[in-house]
Amino acid sequence: MVEVNLWSGLRRFTDGELVVTVEASTIGEMLDALKAAHPGLAPVIDAGVSVAVDGEVIAANYALPVRPDSEVYLMQKLKGG
Amino acid sequence: MKYHTPSTFEDASALAASAPGVTRFLAGGTDVLVQLRAEIVTPDDLIDIKHIPGVKEIARTKDGGWRIGVAVSGAELGAHAELVSEWPGVVEGMELVGSTQVQGRATLVGNLCNGSPAADSVPGLVAAGATVTITGPGGTRELAVEEVPAGPGKTSLAKGEVISAVHLPPRGDNAGDAYLRFIPRTEMDIAVVGAAVSLRLDGDTVTEARVALGAVAPTVVLVSDAAAALIGSSLDDAALDALAAAATAACNPIDDKRGTVEFRTEVAGVLVKRAARIAYARAKGEK
Amino acid sequence: MPKDELKSEYKLVGTRPDRPDGLDKVTGRARYGADFSMPGMLFAAVVRSPHAHAKILKIDASKALALEGVKAVVTRADFPDGLTGEDWNLQENTIANDTALYDGHAVAAVAATSALLARDAAKLIEVEYQVLPHVTDVDEAFAPGAPAVRPGSADHSVSSREVDLPDNVRHNVVREIEFGHGDVEAGFAEADLVREGTYKTEATHQGYIEPHACVGQMGADGRGEMWVCTQGQWFIRKFCAAVLGIEASGLRVTASEIGGGFGGKTTIFMEPLALALSRKAGGRPVKLVMTRSEVLRATGPTASASMDVKIGMKKDGTLTAARAVFRMQGGAFPGSPVDLALTCAFASYKLPNVEHIGYDILANRPKCAAYRAPGAPMGAFAVESLIDEMARELGLDPLDVRLKNAVAEGDKSSYGPTYNRIGLVEVLEATKAHPNLSVPLGPNQGRGVATGFWFNHGGETSVSVSVTEDGTATVSIGTPDIGGLRASIALMVAETFGIGYDDVRVNVVETGALGFNEPSHGSRATFASGKAAVTSAQSCIKQMCQRAADKWGIDAEAVEWVDGAAQPAGPNAGKFPPMTMKEIAETMGATGGPISGHNETTMDGVGASFGTHVVDVEVDPETGRTTILRYLVVQDAGKAVHPSYVEGQYQGGAVQGIGWALNEEYVYGKDGRLQNPIFLDYRVPVASDLPMIDTVIVEVPNPGHPYGVRGVGETGITPPLPAVANAIADAVGVRMKHLPMNPPKVLAAIKAKANG
Amino acid sequence: MTKVHVTTTVNGEEVEFLADPRETLLDCLRDKLDMTGAKEGCGTGDCGACSVTVDGTLVCSCLVLGVEAQGKKVETVEGIADGEELHPLQRKFIEHAALQCGICTPGFLVAAKNLLEKNPDPTETEIRYWLAGNLCRCTGYDKIIRAVQDAAAEMRGAA
Which pLDDT score, from 0 to 100, does residue C167 have? Answer: 79
Q: Across the interface, do C623 and B182 touch by the CB < 8 Å criterion?
A: yes
Q: Are C555 and C426 in a shared domain?
A: no
C743 vs B99, C30, C619, C663, C674, CA distance in Å?
22, 40, 9, 9, 21
Q: Are C590 and C682 in a shared domain?
A: no
How close does chain D come to B84, measured CA to CA in Å?
18
Q: Does C680 touch chain B (CB under 8 A)?
A: yes
Is the pLDDT at C316 greater than 80? The verdict is yes
Report percent pLDDT > 70 for chain C. 98
Range C415-426 average pLDDT:
96
CB distance C73 to C61 below 8 Å = yes
Q: Across the interface, do B267 and C622 touch by the CB < 8 Å criterion?
A: yes
Range C410-420 average pLDDT:
96
Is the pLDDT at C7 greater than 50? The verdict is no
Q: pLDDT-derived band of residue C2, with 50, 70 and 90 as boundaries?
A: very low
Q: Does C675 touch chain B (CB under 8 A)?
A: yes
Does the ipTM exceed 0.95? Answer: yes
Q: Across the interface, do D63 and B48 touch by the CB < 8 Å criterion?
A: no
* Domain annotation covers residue C660: yes
CATH code, domain with D104: 1.10.150.120
Of C586, C603, C620, which one is at a domain's C-terminal end?
C603
Range C572-601 average pLDDT:
96
Of C561, C581, C603, which one is at a domain's C-terminal end?
C603
- Measured CA to CA, the distance from residue C161 to residue A55 in angstroms comes to 24
Q: Are D103 and D66 in a shared domain?
A: no
Q: pLDDT-derived band of residue C4, with 50, 70 and 90 as boundaries?
A: very low
Which pLDDT score, from 0 to 100, does residue C168 have? Answer: 80
CA angle A3, A7, A11 (to 5 degrees): 90
Q: What is the phi-psi region of residue B177: left when phi exceeds 0, alpha when psi lies from -120 to 50, beta otherwise?
A: beta
Q: Across the interface, do A9 and C155 touch by the CB < 8 Å criterion?
A: no
CATH code, domain with D50: 3.10.20.30
CB distance B43 to B22 below 8 Å = yes
Asked if chain B contacts chain A via 3 or more Cβ pairs within 8 Å, the reply is: no
C327 vs B5, C373, C378, C379, C740, CA distance in Å?
58, 17, 11, 11, 18
Q: Are D19 and D71 in a shared domain?
A: yes
Q: Are C527 and C581 in a shared domain?
A: yes
Q: Nearest chain C Cα to D126, which residue? A: C688
Is the pLDDT at C423 greater than 70? The verdict is yes
Q: Across the interface, do C688 and B262 touch by the CB < 8 Å criterion?
A: no
Q: Are C519 and C661 in a shared domain?
A: no
Is the model more confident about C627 or about C6?
A: C627
Is the pLDDT at C228 greater than 90? The verdict is yes
Structural domain range at position A33 = 2-76
Is the model more confident about D18 or about C169?
A: D18
Residues sharing a CB contact under 8 Å with residue C88, sequence separation 6 or more, in sequence order: none
Structural domain range at position D41 = 4-79
Q: Are D127 and D63 in a shared domain?
A: no
C749 alpha-carbon distance from chain centroid: 33
Is the N-terminal amide bond of C740 cis, ω within 30° of 0? yes
| Total of domains in chain B | 1
Q: Are C614 and C550 in a shared domain?
A: no
* Domain annotation covers residue B210: yes
Contacts of B104 in chain D (CB under 8 A): 54, 57-59
Structural domain range at position B257 = 175-283
Summarize pLDDT for A17-34 with one digit per residue, the tens: 999 999 999 999 999 999
CB distance B259 to B193 below 8 Å = yes
- Measured CA to CA, the distance from residue D150 to residue D156 in angstroms comes to 10
- Measured CA to CA, the distance from residue C370 to residue C232 in angstroms comes to 13
Is the pLDDT at D27 greater than 90? The verdict is yes
- Measured CA to CA, the distance from residue C652 to residue C207 in angstroms comes to 12
Contacts of C680 in chain B (CB under 8 A): 188-190
Range B263-274 average pLDDT:
98
Is the pLDDT at B202 greater than 90? The verdict is yes
CB distance C304 to C328 below 8 Å = yes
Which of D60, D114, D128, D148 to mutate against chain B (most B CBs within 10 Å)?
D60
How big is chain D by its Cα radius of gyration, in Å? 16
- Measured CA to CA, the distance from residue C328 to residue C305 in angstroms comes to 4
Is the pLDDT at C163 greater than 80? The verdict is no
Summarize pLDDT for C459-483 with one digit per residue, the tens: 999 999 999 999 999 999 999 999 9
Q: Across the interface, do D145 and C687 touch by the CB < 8 Å criterion?
A: yes
> Between D58, D131, D132, which is nearest B104 by CB?
D58
Q: Which of A18-32, C166-180, C711-725, D69-83 has the lowest mean pLDDT?
A: C166-180
| Total of domains in chain A | 1
| Total of domains in chain D | 2
Q: Are C448 and C479 in a shared domain?
A: no
Q: Across the interface, do A9 and C160 touch by the CB < 8 Å criterion?
A: yes
- Measured CA to CA, the distance from residue C487 to residue C489 in angstroms comes to 6
> Between C208, C642, C648, which is nearest D139 by CB?
C648
Q: Does D51 touch chain C (CB under 8 A)?
A: no
Long-range contacts of D79-88 (CB under 8 A, 24+ apart): D79/D10, D79/D11, D79/D12, D80/C27, D80/D109, D80/D110, D80/D113, D81/C27, D86/C23, D86/C26, D86/C27, D87/D113, D87/D151, D88/D151, D88/D154, D88/D155, D88/D158
Phi and psi for B222 in degrees, rounded to 5?
-90, 120
Q: Does D69 touch chain C (CB under 8 A)?
A: no
> Between B38, B39, B184, which is nearest C743 by CB?
B184
Is the pLDDT at D140 greater than 60? The verdict is yes
Which pLDDT score, from 0 to 100, does residue C5 have? Answer: 44
Residues sharing a CB contact under 8 Å with residue C279, sequence separation 6 or more, in sequence order: C218, C219, C220, C222, C224
Q: pLDDT-derived band of residue C412, with 50, 70 and 90 as boundaries?
A: very high
Contacts of D25 in chain B (CB under 8 A): none
Specify the DSSP element, H or E, that contains C749: helix C743-754
Contacts of D96 in chain C (CB under 8 A): 644
Of D79, D107, D134, which one is at a domain's C-terminal end?
D79
* Domain annotation covers residue A36: yes
CATH code, domain with C738: 3.30.365.10
Mean pLDDT computed over every residue of chain C:
96
3-state DSSP assignment of residue C79: coil
Which pLDDT score, from 0 to 100, does residue C186 have? Answer: 98
Is the model more confident about A48 or about C8?
A: A48
- Measured CA to CA, the distance from residue B194 to residue C565 in angstroms comes to 71
* Domain annotation covers residue C435: yes
Q: Does D22 touch chain B (CB under 8 A)?
A: yes
Q: Across the interface, do D135 and C209 touch by the CB < 8 Å criterion?
A: yes
Structural domain range at position C471 = 10-29+458-603
* Domain annotation covers residue C697: yes
* Domain annotation covers residue B196: yes
Range D44-63 average pLDDT:
98
Of D60, D79, D98, which one is at a domain's C-terminal end?
D79
Q: Does D132 touch chain B (CB under 8 A)?
A: yes
* Domain annotation covers residue A46: yes
Q: Are D8 and D75 in a shared domain?
A: yes
Is the pLDDT at D1 greater than 80? The verdict is no
- Measured CA to CA, the distance from residue C288 to residue C367 in angstroms comes to 20
- Measured CA to CA, the distance from residue C80 to residue C440 in angstroms comes to 65
Is the pLDDT at C525 greater than 90? The verdict is yes
Is the pLDDT at D159 greater than 70? The verdict is no
How close does chain C come to B142, measured CA to CA in Å?
34
Is the pLDDT at B134 greater than 90? The verdict is yes
Q: Does C662 touch chain B (CB under 8 A)?
A: yes
Q: pLDDT-derived band of residue C160, with 50, 70 and 90 as boundaries?
A: low
Q: Across the interface, do C625 and B182 touch by the CB < 8 Å criterion?
A: yes
Q: Are C614 and C751 in a shared domain?
A: yes
* Domain annotation covers residue B113: no
Q: Taking Cα atoms as reference points, which of C381, C364, C208 lies closest to residue C305?
A: C381
Which pLDDT score, from 0 to 100, does residue C451 have? Answer: 98
Q: Are C557 and C613 in a shared domain?
A: no
Range D50-62 average pLDDT:
98
Which pLDDT score, from 0 to 100, does residue B76 have? Answer: 97
CB distance C413 to A51 below 8 Å = no
Q: Are C630 and C755 in a shared domain?
A: yes
Q: Are C631 and C738 in a shared domain?
A: yes
Q: Are C634 and C714 in a shared domain?
A: yes
Amino acid at C63: K
Is the pLDDT at C162 greater than 70? The verdict is no
Report percent pLDDT > 70 for chain D. 99
Which of C88, C156, C158, C160 to mutate against chain A (most A CBs within 10 Å)?
C160
Of C565, C586, C603, which one is at a domain's C-terminal end?
C603
Q: Does C55 touch chain A (CB under 8 A)?
A: no
Summarize pLDDT for C440-460 with one digit per residue, the tens: 999 999 999 999 999 899 999
Report percent pLDDT > 90 for chain B. 97
CATH code, domain with B200: 3.30.390.50
Which pLDDT score, from 0 to 100, does residue A77 have? Answer: 77
Q: Across the interface, do C32 and D39 touch by the CB < 8 Å criterion?
A: yes
DSSP state of C368: P
Touching D (3+ Cβ pairs <8 A), the chains are B, C
CA angle C210, C212, C216 (to 5 degrees): 135
Q: Across the interface, do C34 and D41 touch by the CB < 8 Å criterion?
A: no
Range C643-664 average pLDDT:
98
3-state DSSP assignment of residue B94: helix
Contacts of D20 in chain C (CB under 8 A): 116
Mean pLDDT computed over every residue of chain D:
97
User: With a CB-CB cutoff of 8 Å, which residues 465-524 of chain C face chain D?
Assistant: 482-484
How close does chain D come to B217, measured CA to CA in Å?
25
B157 alpha-carbon distance from chain centroid: 16
Phi and psi for C7 in degrees, rounded to 5?
-65, -40
Contacts of D58 in chain B (CB under 8 A): 100-101, 104
Q: Does C158 touch chain A (CB under 8 A)?
A: yes
Q: Are C612 and C745 in a shared domain?
A: yes
* Domain annotation covers residue A61: yes
Q: Are D13 and D73 in a shared domain?
A: yes
Q: Across the interface, do D60 and B188 touch by the CB < 8 Å criterion?
A: no
Beta bridge partners of C127: C59
Number of neighbours of residue D87 by Cβ within 10 angstroms: 21
Which pLDDT score, from 0 to 100, does residue C1 have? Answer: 38
Range B175-179 average pLDDT:
98
